[in-house]
Amino acid sequence: NRQFRLASRPVGDITASNFEYREEPIPQPSDGEVLVRTIYLSLDPTNRIWMSDRPQYMPPVEIGQVMRGVVIGVVEESKNPDFQKEDLVSGVLGWQDYALALGNTGLGISKLPSPLPCPLSAFVGPLGATGFTAYFGLLDIGQPKSGETIVVSAAAGAVGSVVGQIAKIKGCRVVGITGSNEKCRWLVEELGFDDAINYKTADLETALAKSCPNGIDVYFDNVGGAILDAVLTKINLDARIPLCGLISTYNATEPVPGPYNYSQILMQRARVQGFIILDYSSRFGEAIKDIGQWVNEGKIKYALEIVEGLENAPLAILKLFNGNKIGKLAVKVSEE
């Protein structure tokens, strides 16, 4: 059983030396447990949060523990009456070929629908946690209304690309902020965004004024930092800001200054609300039904950046921070 364990906490960017590679015997399930073989290992910005010991929404990974990760896998052996060999499952397991789930010591898993309504890889993307994050963050917290203007950052990523497409389905004007011209083209030409801004080359405030002539009603924030600050200058009265992520700060080695334009939240009576997708787990069925239908109707398109081989996970995760990928990043660990 190949594994990556956390060897040290990153200072700034993640490096390969933060992980220790090990090979251990494949574990045997006890009563109540199942053995899961990893097919896809999702790589997510929150992995960087789990690697640090800053305050967070679940305990950090301890030094020496198998690195935590969201997995799509298949049951290889079951000693739990609710699961059978060959069931497809998802869960927060780890950076390894095999994991024990359920029982007294194992981790939680849930079954994927059978038969699958879409290709399995869709469950890594829009029908996985990042799609659910887009769905509940936008609809529950953002509460977009037809005709309103929605801006989303990290727009060509796993969450952002789905946020923008759901907002289009709801009749909004959608503007994406992302880090390359190629990603901007993908958002507008393939996904149907109304406009996209390359924050690495544009003057953001000027570009937002041009792309959002009626101001901004919902800002879905994946990034924080300078992009949030620029967006705040253009928000409308009663704007909603689902605070989904702050990726521009995850590698910070010094305290991060708050937004300079914070006063705009007061002036525009705006509402900023943080949320963690795990809190919505009892409602994932709603998201699967709607997103599954939209994927099958072609209203939600998605891109996957699949890196082959567990051994490449420590380097692949850097793509989340250098922006060198489109859509959802995952590692293919074994065959479907």
Residue 223 or 287: the one with the smaller Cβ distance to ligand NDP is: 223
Residue 118 or 243: the one with the smaller Cβ distance to ligand NDP is: 243
Q: From the CB of 237, what's the least distance to ligand NDP, in Å?
A: 26
Residue 75 or 152: the one with the smaller Cβ distance to ligand NDP is: 152
Residues facing 72 on adjacent strands: 40, 90
Q: From the CB of 206, what's the least distance to ligand NDP, in Å?
A: 18
Rounded to whole angstroms, what are the CA distances from 161 to 88, 117, 169, 301? 26, 21, 13, 9
- SS3 category, 174: strand
Residue 27 or 225: the one with the smaller Cβ distance to ligand NDP is: 225
Rounded CA-CA distance 284/303 in Å is 21
Rounded to whole angstroms, what are the CA distances from 271 to 59, 187, 227, 233? 28, 27, 17, 15
Q: From the CB of 234, what's the least distance to ligand NDP, in Å?
A: 17
- How many residues can be counted in the chain? 336
Residue 77 or 290: the one with the smaller Cβ distance to ligand NDP is: 290
Rounded CA-CA distance 29/35 in Å is 6
Contact positions toward ligand NDP, by CB under 6 A? 44-46, 130, 133, 154, 156-160, 178-180, 183, 222-223, 244-248, 275-277, 320-321, 323, 325, 329
Q: From the CB of 128, what's the least distance to ligand NDP, in Å?
A: 10
Q: From the CB of 217, what's the least distance to ligand NDP, in Å?
A: 20
Rounded to whole angstroms, what are the CA distances from 175 to 11, 71, 97, 148, 212? 33, 31, 40, 11, 8
